[in-house]
């Protein structure tokens, strides 16, 4: 029997989450962001659930090729663009659109031999200070690109640093709009947080603070994690978990007052209690930093972890679930059997990180099932 741990990718949840994004950006086309192997879910596994998107955005040529192999003929966007000249040959071969964020990428395009001009997304650094041309150099970059026979349509793109927080997007939006006001081309600005928190309502009602985004780039929301947790939970946004990680209890122990659990004796029993040992550890992608008290579901009932997470195992408190024991199912995050949900964001909070990091870190050794 294989070690009793597996993950599940929920196709219906992906579809639901895509609808949530579509409803919040009804006039925009949606890039489903599937970088990092679809945020750890697997490109092949999420494809069915996300094929209703207008395009797929990612970083690696390998992942673009896999999408073409799956039969996707629609748009694919490389979010960091080409890293060298040969990448542009692949863009031609696989019909990929690509980001242009620096002069070197324009030089590459000028040197690229092709009869079919390429669609590019010209990126502005409107304040994030990661990728893109600063506003004062943006127009010159656009003019240079526009003069190249290798370039077809130019879309205008930027990325927000604070769409999920109190600083918001108004400042960067104003910078972007001012510097692009008279440039033609489709706009592409919003990530998940900007889509959900700064939706432009058809009636221009409150919340209309973002620029018109002809294309939005939705990642985390599609996978059912809240982009602005803890301000809003995934359920607040109507999002459902796209990934469940579950394992079984493979041993139980009965503790006396003063007994300790695991490495470093980090948990000390303050009363007699039963604990379960779960076949999940940090080598499966469960964060080692999660302290005693991190939420879990045991047979769909809320409980908590105890002591340190080890490489292949962790301990859970069986006090709230006296009927559970060997073989009981433990949900580490996601959806349990009876529709109980342990949001990945709650586990991430205990690990002082985000749902993004947990789902991306699901280990190779964990088998994954796709559920319709």
Ligand X SMILES: *Cc1c(COP(=O)(O)O)cnc(C)c1O
Q: What's the Cα-to-Cα distance from 124 to each of 132, 152, 186, 214, rounded to whole Å?
A: 4, 19, 14, 16
Nearer to ligand X, 169 or 309 (CB): 169
100 part of the interface to ligand X, by CB under 6 A:
no
What x/- string results for residues 112 through 151 when contact with ligand X is judged by CB under 6 A?
----------------------------------------
Q: Applying CB under 6 A, which of residues 220, 242, 342, 362 lies at the interface with ligand X?
A: 220
Q: Applying CB under 6 A, which of residues 127, 227, 285, 343 lies at the interface with ligand X?
A: 227
Q: Applying CB under 6 A, which of residues 11, 22, 180, 192 lies at the interface with ligand X?
A: 192
Q: Which residue is nearest to ligand X (CB)?
A: 219
Q: From the CB of 161, what's the least distance to ligand X, in Å?
A: 11
SS (H, E, C) the chain: CCCCEEEEEEHHHHHHHHHHHHHHCCCCEEEEECHHHHHCCCHHHHHHHHCCCCEEEECCHHHHHHHHHCCCCCCEEECCCCCCHHHHHHHHHHCCEEEECCHHHHHHHHHCCCCCCEEEEEEECCCCCCCCECHHHHHHHHHHHHCCCCEEEEEEEECCCCCCCCCCCHHHHHHHHHHHCCCCCCEECCCHHHHHHCCCCCCCCCCCCCCCCCEEEECHHHHCCCCCCCCCCCCCCCCCCCEEEEEEEEEEEEECCCCEECHHHCEECCCCEEEEEECCCHHHCCCCCCCCCCEEEECCEEEEEECCCCCCCEEEECCCCCCCCCCCEEEEEEECCCCCEECHHHHHHHCCCCHHHHHHCCCCCCCEEEEC
Nearer to ligand X, 219 or 262 (CB): 219
Q: From the CB of 197, what's the least distance to ligand X, in Å?
A: 11
User: How many residues bind to ligand X according to rule CB under 6 A?
Assistant: 12
Nearer to ligand X, 98 or 248 (CB): 98
Nearer to ligand X, 106 or 188 (CB): 188
How, if at all, do strands 97-100 and 118-124 pair? parallel
Task: Name the one range near ligand X by CB under 6 A: 112-120, 188-196, 204-212, 322-330.
Answer: 188-196
C-alpha angle 168-171-176 in degrees, rounded to nearest 5: 120
Q: From the CB of 190, what's the least distance to ligand X, in Å?
A: 8
Q: From the CB of 195, what's the least distance to ligand X, in Å?
A: 8
Task: Name the one range near ligand X by CB under 6 A: 90-98, 142-150, 189-197, 207-215.
Answer: 189-197
79 part of the interface to ligand X, by CB under 6 A:
yes
Q: From the CB of 221, what's the least distance to ligand X, in Å?
A: 6
Residues from 30 through 49 that contact ligand X (CB under 6 A): 33, 35
What gap in Å lies between CA 191 and CA 79, rounded to an integer?
Answer: 12
Task: Name the one range near ligand X by CB under 6 A: 64-72, 113-121, 186-194, 229-237.
Answer: 186-194
Q: From the CB of 45, what's the least distance to ligand X, in Å?
A: 17
CA atoms within 13 A on the CB side of 122: 29
Q: From the CB of 159, what's the least distance to ligand X, in Å?
A: 5
Cβ atoms within 10 Å of 51's Cβ, excluding its own: 17
Nearer to ligand X, 132 or 276 (CB): 132
Residues from 200 through 219 that contact ligand X (CB under 6 A): 217-219
Nearer to ligand X, 210 or 295 (CB): 210
191 part of the interface to ligand X, by CB under 6 A:
yes
The residues annotated as belonging to the active site are: 35, 263
What x/- string results for residues 148 through 167 when contact with ligand X is judged by CB under 6 A?
-----------x--------
Query: Contact residues for ligand X (CB under 6 A)?
Result: 33, 35, 79, 159, 191-193, 217-220, 227
């Amino acid at each position: 029997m294989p070690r009793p741990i597996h993950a599940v990718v929920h196709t219906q949840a992906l579809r639901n989450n895509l609808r949530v994004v579509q409803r919040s950006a009804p006039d925009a086309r949606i890039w489903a962001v599937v970088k990092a192997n679809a945020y750890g879910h697997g490109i092949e596994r999420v494809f069915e659930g996300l094929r209703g998107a207008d395009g797929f955005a990612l970083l690696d040529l390998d992942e673009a090729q896999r999408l073409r192999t799956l039969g996707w003929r629609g748009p694919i966007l490389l979010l960091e663009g080409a890293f060298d000249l040969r990448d542009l040959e692949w863009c031609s071969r696989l019909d990929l659109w690509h980001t242009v964020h620096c002069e070197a990428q324009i030089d590459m395009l000028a040197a690229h031999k092709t009869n079919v001009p390429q669609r590019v997304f010209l990126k502005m650094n409107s304040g994030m200070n990661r990728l893109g041309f600063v506003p004062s150099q943006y127009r010159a970059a656009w003019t240079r690109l526009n003069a190249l026979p290798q370039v077809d349509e130019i879309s205008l793109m930027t990325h927000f640093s604070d769409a999920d927080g109190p600083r918001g997007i108004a400042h960067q939006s104003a910078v972007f709009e001012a510097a692009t006001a008279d440039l033609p081309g489709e706009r592409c600005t919003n990530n998940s947080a900007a889509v959900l928190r700064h939706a432009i309502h058809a009636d221009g009602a409150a919340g209309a603070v973002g620029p018109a985004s002809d294309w939005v780039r939705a990642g985390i929301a599609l996978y059912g994690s809240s982009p602005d947790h803890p301000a809003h939970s995934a359920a607040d946004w109507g999002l459902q978990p796209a990934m469940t990680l579950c394992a079984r209890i493979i041993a139980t122990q009965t503790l006396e007052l003063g007994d300790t659990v695991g490495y470093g004796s980090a948990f000390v029993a303050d009363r007699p209690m039963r604990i379960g040992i779960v076949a999940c550890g940090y080598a499966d992608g469960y964060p080692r930093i999660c302290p005693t008290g991190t939420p879990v579901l045991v047979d769909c009932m809320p409980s908590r972890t105890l002591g340190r997470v080890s490489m292949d195992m962790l301990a859970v408190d069986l006090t709230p679930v006296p009927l559970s024991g060997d073989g009981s199912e433990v949900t580490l995050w996601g959806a349990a059997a009876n529709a109980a949900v342990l949001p990945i964001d709650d586990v991430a909070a205990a690990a002082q990180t985000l749902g993004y990091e947990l789902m991306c870190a699901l280990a190779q050794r964990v088998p994954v099932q796709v559920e319709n």
